[in-house]
Structure 1
Amino acid sequence: MNKKVVVGLTTAAAFSAVLMGGNNAHAEEATTNKMTTDGSISFFSESTPGGGPFQRSLVLAYVPTTFDFGNHDVAATATAATYKQEFGTNEDGTPKTAVKQYLAVSDDRADKKNGWSVKATLNEFQNTATDDKGVSTVTKLDKAELSFNLGTAQKYNIDTKLSDAAKPATPTPAITADNALSAMTPTQLAYYAASPATVTLVAGATKEVEVLDYATQTQSEATTLAVAKEVSSVQLKVKDHSNVKDKKFTSKVNWTLAEDPAI
């Protein structure tokens, strides 16, 4: 009996559309005016590790931690616009350099003949506002599209014994560590040839989109423990800005790994 391995992970994605403007307070005699200004800060790692166990298993090892598209001043009459992923700003206000994010799969199966694939869907980008009577209103970005590029497949080894003993179990070494990733042979690269170079996910679509594919083999491959692809050029296309003023929209990317039947 063929064993199915399905692992689901999510990546949070946030988009804010804000009509810029200051808060005005008009002080009158014998009147006290109070107002507030919200502040926020976020900290995140480049890629989130999966939980294992990794020995003799097929698991999602890493997915990008977050996709953030910043705050934007846009006219309500704007139709379609595309926003690039942002990584915050430096102290002088200049944008930070993009960090590397990865999608990675650990394949430590004794028999690697069975193929597998990673697929993804994108939840609706939504904003939920609650009024003073407790009534909630949900606004959506209609058919927003998230797209990204996937780099060449690279391989890396996982110390499975150490990983499975750790609590929680995480793959080691980190794929962003120096010299952790190495080039595959032409034969190994051919295993992933069916994987797309660019992926587009439509918010709210229920059909899964293939992101990374390992082809079914006629013989077992024993040398590749894990494969990683860099996720880059992440963009969000918003088609309608008529109802985005002062709203922050959030979504999730849902990643699923499943093993294919043996030939």
Structure 2
Amino acid sequence: MALLLACARLIGYSGPRSPSLAAALEFIHTATLLHDDVVDRSALRRGQPTANTIWGNRRAVAVGDFLLGRAFEMLVDDGSLDVVNAISRASMVLSAGEVSQLASHRQIETTEETYFRIISAKTAALFEVSCQIAGYLPGGNKATAVKFKRFGRSLGIAFQLTDDVIDYVSTSARMGKDAGDDFRDGKVTLPVIIAFARGSPADRRFWEDAMQGNKVSDTDFAHALKLLEDTGAIRDTLARAYNHGRVAKSHLSSFGNSRAKSALSMAVDFAVSRCF
């Protein structure tokens, strides 16, 4: 992944191991997307039909499994036990995050604590390990790996917070997904959690019905968006995304200025501004 390559360049490494590790991580990432689309019954990803829509669930899952197997074969060939341990742990965290997300589906009483635990496992874990393992390459050390890990975690959280806002404020033409997909699927994201907590009794009943799948029309979605705006849920979710972005950049402060550092900083800026 690009983050791994940029982190590797930040410590002065440009050898063959970083592209190979990046490819292995991309295989893992693609596998999780294939599996997620089956679990979520998604028909579109980035505006294109999903693999399960075209070839069916069984083939999509089988290809995902193959990619996972090939990825770990490449990691074994790399020969770093630190890298294998980091990615193995991240894979377990990702799986646990998927289970937690399924358990919270349509649960309007989901707390912010639970929400952040889920996105830390589902999204931040992959960002985290992608950056972390660059620290184990020549030119890095365990202290560097920790800095990269913390950078990736904060970046991943910022990315997911922005993604949750995108579902309400962006367009399918811009983002390759229909606005309101999460709303209609009953995903209790941070904007919903905030709006539900701050809403009137009538507003809270609306959210309860919506998350149970009883409010799925365009009119319902427009009302949901108004409630999010009136309660400041969109504004405050983005504020938290920007804060996590600032934290991410702070973990790069000990590194000297370079093109790689600028690229990582730009990645943070993109993560928190891509819905506009």
> Structure 1-normalised TM-score?
0.27
> Could you say which structure has the higher strand fraction?
1
Question: In terms of Rg, which structure is larger?
Answer: 1
Q: Which structure has more helix as a fraction of its residues?
A: 2
TM-score of the two chains, using structure 2 as the length reference: 0.26
